[in-house]
Amino acid sequence: MPVAIITGASKGLGRALGAALAERGWDLVLDARTGEVLEETAAALSAYGTRVRALPGDVTDAGHRAGLVTAARELGGLDLLVNNASALGAEPLVRLEALTLEGLRHALEVNVVAALGLIQEALPLLRASRAGTVIDISSDAAAEAYETWGGYGASKAALDHLSAVLGEEEPGLRVWAVDPGDMGTDLYTAAVPDDDDPRPAPASVVPAFIGLLDERPASGRYGASALSALPAGR
């Protein structure tokens, strides 16, 4: 069975993507900081009959990242790494004049440094896979200038560039930076708690991710409009 590591997998997009992969027979290694919620998610996804390993921890911890890759190796290898764990840098978001440098450092540490660290740890297994793939979850804030989204957007822009370079350096892999569009997630609520406008559920974008895995287009950045042009996964 193919094996995936998904960070930030206890809720939102990470959990929804994990459920879709488990339904298709993927074995999973799941990460999140909150152990109790992660264990509940792992139990729910195990109901699909696949092997699920839940490792609570912080992706900024090198030892935790190594543990995630070790768990994948024990399941037989690694075919897909999804860097979904993210940090805002300030909750709620603030204008740049009020963004603490420590907050910006934290966003960069989680969204860029930890993502690269996990990629580096996972590369030998991904290269050994017949369809090694990295998905880095990006944001429209990486490409557009929205008031108060400067720190988070800068970190996601850095992740986009890192993904693009990795795609050039690793032609045997697929490396996609994916902007899934607006979603109703805990992250968005923490970013803009006063915004009561309804947003799509994370599960609504999962068929597009499965479509990416099915179609395997060239490495690159895929925004919401490009995702919608792909055939939805079954």
Q: What is the pLDDT of residues 8-35, one digit of tens each?
A: 999 999 999 999 999 999 999 999 999 9
- The set of catalytic residues is 152
What b/e string do you get for 58-97 counting C-beta neighbours within 10 Å, with b at 16 or more? ebeeeebbebbbebbeebebbbbbbbbbbbbbbeebbeee
* Residue 62 included in any domain: yes
- Tell me if residue 135 falls in helix, strand or coil: strand
| pLDDT score recorded for residue 218 | 97
Q: What is the pLDDT of residues 32-91, one digit of tens each?
A: 999 999 999 999 999 999 999 999 999 999 999 999 999 999 999 999 999 999 999 999
Residue in 143, 168, 156, 159 with CA at minimum distance from that of residue 218: 168
From residue 65, give the alpha-carbon distance in Å to each of 16, 30, 116, 191: 22, 11, 10, 26
* Residue 228 included in any domain: no
Place 156 in a pLDDT band, splitting at 50, 70 and 90.
very high
CATH code at 23?
3.40.50.720
Domain count, the chain: 1
Strands (E) across 138-219 are located at 174-178
The answer on pLDDT for 234 being more than 70 is no
* Residue 233 included in any domain: no
* Residue 74 included in any domain: yes
Domain that holds residue 157: 1-223
* Residue 231 included in any domain: no
Q: Which pTM value belongs to this model?
A: 0.95
Yes or no: say if 188 and 140 are a contact pair by the CB < 8 Å rule: no
* Residue 230 included in any domain: no
